Chain A
Amino acid sequence: MKNRDEIAQALAASGYIADADLATAISLMQLLRRPLLLEGEAGVGKTEVAKALAKVHATELIRLQCYEGLDQSSALYEWNYQRQLLAIQAHRGMDSIEDQVFSEKYLLERPLLAAIRRAQAPVLLIDEIDRADDEFEAFLLELLSDFQVSIPELGTIAAVTIPHVVLTSNGTRELSDALRRRCLYHYVDYPDVDRETRIILARVAGASPSLSLQIARMVENVRKEELRKVPGVAETLDWAAALVGLEISDLHDAPETVYETLVCLLKTHEDRARVTPEVTQRLLGRVA
């Protein structure tokens, strides 16, 4: 599957509405065998890309959530010490016990090791790489170029299949140039009205086309306000689901409900205070 239109269609079928740019990026991922680095504000659907990609390839999604202090033993592999100890106690006096406890049976697979040992290439999602430490980033770089892991007690494990790697970053830390160069880069922006409408239609059951369009326009207006936390696509979907649940078919029919349900979009006290009923009214006025 190389054509980007086919990819866009396949993504749409799995519930992710991609723009042409992203479809190109994914086709390049396969062609050049490079990881894809997605950057963008929180809530624009970076993680969803990986999930949709896994659906498109009909393969498993292996996710590694990065955090500060993430190290090799929770990302790559670890020995199952408890079982090793039990085995040693149970077979006390046997000579071959040392070889036994350092066998695959006692190896705990963590996401990175799991990703290169699957028979069918999985999608490996390395989420929020910017939260991990510099050291981990360097280690990851090595893994992403060689796709093999050496375990001192066991030897080198080469990749059975090369996974489709997607990395996401929120930009809380500057990533190294080496990692950036290794990857294809795609900046995920807030969707435009047209795309957001289609996203709502695809994801919220029971949303009519006209309401979806109104919601997308309203959200676009809200994003233009000076907010501390700009609502993402996830928030839009929440709000759309709330409105559908309250059986609203036209935003202009129920301005109060619109104002009250804005809690789905505005997540800080300051933003909530800024978008008063009057502001809501003004924003609604701009929604055709």
Chain B
Amino acid sequence: MSCCGSSPGYDDLNEVSRLVSARLAAFLRTLRDAGFRVGLAEGQDAASLMTAGYAARPGLLRAAFKHLFSARKSDWDKFDGLFDAFWLGKRVRSRSRTIGSTSGANNPSLKSLRDAAAEQGGNQTVTDQLSSSDDAPEGGSGEGRMEGASRADNLAEVDFRKLSDPDQVAQAHEAAAQLARAMRTRLTRRDLARRRGYRLDLRRTIHRNISHGGVPISLVKRQRKDKPLRLVVLLDASGSMNMYTAVFLRFIHGVLDQFREAEAFLFHTRLAYVSDAMKEKDASRALDRLSIMAQGAGGGTRIGESLQTFNRWHAARVIHSRSCVMIVSDGYETGDAALLGREMAALSRRCRRIVWLNPMMAWEGYAPEARGIKAALPHVDLYAPANSLQSLRALEPYLAKL
């Protein structure tokens, strides 16, 4: 039923509308590059809208396309900027850059689009440029991983900051990804084994026993479906953590890839939602995308403020009753420690468990003296070191019990 209006439009395409549809195709590519999920059906509907007279008024066309192409709030927010840049030749609003992870790459391509639009007819080259920017085939990463894992044992106890050899670093990354995968499989299996009905389902029992004339011989029980465990990872990407950030980014990438439900955030002086960027299949490309976000601005770490942002804007969507929030940070709060305490309290009311991983904890002579960590610790359920692969692996049994 999706495109009942589109077929008549295609039959009487004249030369003008042929040009229009070429432009439309270029616009769809722009949208896809900006992270929109736009399929063929949307393109056909858009074409039929343009032939139905929507193209005559830019405002109306923008509103119509906005509804058609947007699929979520972030799309909705950045659509107007993209539309104006493409069709009306205006500048992209800076807002869109902070929202999406992918949009940073858009400005140059949009600009070249705009220039090409002035020339007219240069559409084909334009789309080619666009596609080369982000559509490279994925894959080729599957085989190397196994190798890394088998050698991972030697690496398991080495503190991440002592890894200097690029090979070793690569192996640690592979092992982190592998670990994430293993955790997911085992957590899921335990989940299934535990299911058992606890309440009689009368309707189904009667239905099942119709063949016995309604005498309830075989009983049907009702069980509450377990939600899969959801991991929400908040990673401190500030300067003091930079020896560990890369490995944890890789671990998070593995978790997002493998867990059915996981979300990830980065913070230093502010909080950034990175799940979408991390869902890129190719790990190195995903990490590249994050490199800008992960670079601490050098202004310290505002854990409290970042948590406040999280609680206010993301928590309702991201956290459900079987969620574990994993904060990876050294706890050096440069903002208000009291705020951190308050926000931790608010967070602990919402989620099942808070795990705080502190890579510094395994350092000799480390004591949680920093103001930040002192304020946060009362609300933390598990406070553990996370400086080596082994310590990461030790978390799994804990998570399985949630």
Contacts and interface: CB of A to CB of B under 8 A. Distances in A.
B225 A181 contact: no
B5 interface: yes
Contact of A181 (B42, B63, B66, B207): B42
A32 B73 contact: no
A185 B71 contact: yes
Nearest to A21: B63
Nearest to A19: B63
B63 A85 contact: no
A242 interface: no
A33 B73 contact: no
B67 A147 contact: no
A187 B320 CA distance: 23
B317 A33 contact: no
A33 B203 contact: no
B214 A171 contact: no
Given A88-B213, A185-B76, A32 B68 contact: yes
Interface of B is mostly: helix
A25 B316 contact: no
A177 B66 CA distance: 16
B316 A171 contact: yes
Contacts of B75: 185
A184 B63 CA distance: 11
A171 B63 contact: no
A180 B37 contact: yes
Contact of B207 (A20, A21, A33, A79): A79
A88 B206 CA distance: 13
A32 B206 contact: no
Contacts of A34: 1-2, 45
B102 interface: no
Interface string B215-242: 0000000001100000000000000000
The 4 A-B residue pairs with the shortest CB-CB distance, nearest first, are A180-B71, A24-B63, A185-B70, A184-B67
Interface of B: 1-5, 37-39, 41-42, 45, 48-49, 52, 60, 63-64, 66-68, 70-73, 75-76, 203, 206-207, 210, 213-214, 224-225, 316-317, 320
5 contacts: A20-B63, A24-B60, A34-B1, A133-B225, A185-B76
Given A39-B72, A78-B203, A171-B73, 7 more contacts: A28-B68, A31-B52, A145-B1, A147-B1, A173-B317, A174-B317, A184-B68
